Amino acid sequence: MRKLTKAELSRLLFLYKTDKRIAEALGVRTQLVTYWRAKKKIPKLSLLKYSKIKIKELWERWGEDEKAGEELGITAGAFYKWRRKYGILERPKVLKYQQLEFSFSSPAGSSTHTLIQKILASKAGSQTVETNENIEIEPDWVILNQNLNFLMEELQNLGSQKISSPHKIIILLPHFNPEGNNFSYLNFKKLLKEHKIRNFFASQEGLAFQTVVENKMVSPYQLTAALDPEFSALGGLGILNININNNSLTEFLNQGKISLTVPETVKVNLSGTLAEGIFAKDISLFLSAKLKGPNFAGKGFEFCGPVIEKLPVKERMTLCQQVSSGNIFCSVVPCDATVKKYLSAPYSKSFNFVLADAQAEYSAKLDLELSWLEPQIGIVGSEVEVRPLAKVKKHKISWAILGASTDSNLEDLEIAAKILKGRKIPKEVKMAVIPGSKAVYLSALKKNLIKTFLQAGCLFLYPGSNSFNFFEDDKIISTFNWNLSKQQLYLASPATVTASALKGKIADPREFL
């Protein structure tokens, strides 16, 4: 038989667990499978062990083997075996989740609704919505940081007529450049005041979505509508963000509602344990390649599974933003204790958990095991082509840019500083670091990270900076897609960007971690 690739062999190991079972499935000797595995440097599968405390906690929370098993990425039968092993056989009298309020309960006799459908139904003032149904929703927020000239014209056209929901509009100017656009800042502020739009951020605080999050203006299970796709990152907080156009904005200004069609929902279960040096950017690049094409266009995505549970909120936001950069409706990660802790005090007393129904109907379910995942590189052309780092390793680069995206939080800067500490970037390479917000900048200053960056030869820029003078023959590796027309651009995780800066070519960050 033909030789198996590393990915194929890793997948077989995940499915069959042992060399003997793989050999039986392939009809070859066990020694041959062991030899293949050793040659490709694939370790034996270490079966996960779950403590009695963990099994008991999940059983008391759900009272169902299927639901509890889903949290661990195992089958209902496998979870039952763990319960039986620890003698946890009695059904809990009171489920822990019953102590919490659920504000999105399904109607009597119905238990087939996805999380996306539940949020849309609540904003449509309905008990339920169905796939492909045309509805009108009242968003919690309409967030605008671009096309402000259009907004200005619409407000002028309204004259003395009042807009429906001025308190639901957030205006931000971090990414807006009024020069050359016949934009009058003073007239704009005057119009906002006349129409009682008070949520206005004019200072350069950093990335627009970061400003909204840090000011705690949004909370889980809200529905936000934005012209800028960058707000798809809010899906990592359990928020449903939809991208709108100018027509939808006009509709909202006049009626306080937005018309849309309920999308089909795809459930993506991510299981396994990520290897060291693998981050949400790698996952999202891999997924964006998998989800490309007409089969997934216009659909909503709900992410779940053991990998998601272990991701910090910042990484979940990166995942949702990158995946939503394609032609999809939205992406969201169900809210959990990790998000609640991240949001801290303002929501701790009145916070409600909402989940998809156990028998929710999805148009597709994707189960992806990611233990084998390697660093990924996006090669930007007319489309973004994603390849494993090993396939493009040693491609030379002249610029490395960390930031200007969700990959610009304090955690990203700490990873980069860890790689750079005590090292120097080659003179022929320029590296720029752009923190996501003023708060991130100050935290980096407090932790002495800026000193590490400067000593390594980096440019450390002010939050929100996005102007660079590239030469036509520059080759750039970045955490953000700059939409360049002439230069070669590669997309990668903060760790890969930093390692590549040190080497002067695309490099594996695991060499430095």
pLDDT in tens, 275-309: 999 999 999 999 988 888 788 889 999 999 999 99
DSSP letter for 41, please. Answer: T
At residue 148, the pLDDT reads 86
pLDDT digits (tens, 9 = 90+) for 195-231: 999 888 866 678 888 888 888 889 899 999 999 889 9
Tokens 């995946």 found at? 323
Q: Strands (DSSP E) along 300-406, which ranges?
A: 300-304, 330-332, 364-369, 376-380, 384-388, 399-403
Which pLDDT band holds residue 162 (cuts at 50, 70, 90)?
confident
- Look-up of token digits 């319960």: 83
Binned at pLDDT 50, 70 and 90, residue 15 comes out as low
pLDDT digits (tens, 9 = 90+) for 264-278: 999 999 999 999 999
Q: Grade residue 161 by pLDDT with cuts at 50, 70 and 90.
A: confident
The pLDDT-based confidence of 75 (bands split at 50, 70, 90) is confident
Task: Please determine, for residue 233, whether its predicted confidence score (pLDDT) is greater than 90.
Answer: yes
Mean model confidence pLDDT for the chain: 86
d(CA 389, CA 377): 6
Give the SS3 label for residue 13.
helix
Residue 110 has pLDDT above 60, yes or no: no
Percentage of the chain with pLDDT > 70?
90
- The residue written with tokens 């050359």 in the block is 180
CA distance 227 to 135: 20
Least Cα distance to 44 among 77, 82, 73, 18 occurs for 18
Q: In the chain, what is the straight-line distance between the N-terminal and C-terminal CA atoms, in Å?
A: 38
- Percent of the chain at pLDDT > 90 equals 51
Instruction: Give how far Cα 23 sits from Cα of 12, 28, 30, Å.
Output: 10, 5, 5
> What is the per-residue pLDDT for 385?
92
Q: How far apart are CA 196 and CA 194, in angstroms?
A: 6
What does residue 349 show for φ and ψ, rounded to 5 degrees? -90, -30
Instruction: Decide which of 344 and 407 is more confident.
Output: 407
Angle of CA points 38, 40, 46, to nearest 5°: 60
User: Is residue 244 a contact partner of residue 261, using CB atoms and an 8 Å limit?
Assistant: no
- Give the residue from 472, 495, 257 showing the smallest Cα distance to 376: 495
Place of tokens 């000193």: 451
Domains and CATH numbers, the chain: 6-39 (no CATH), 52-97 (no CATH), 137-260 (3.30.499.10), 376-511 (3.30.499.10)
* pLDDT band at residue 351 using 50, 70 and 90 as cut-offs: low
Burial class of residue 300 (count of CB atoms within 10 Å of its CB; 0-12, 13-18, 19+): buried
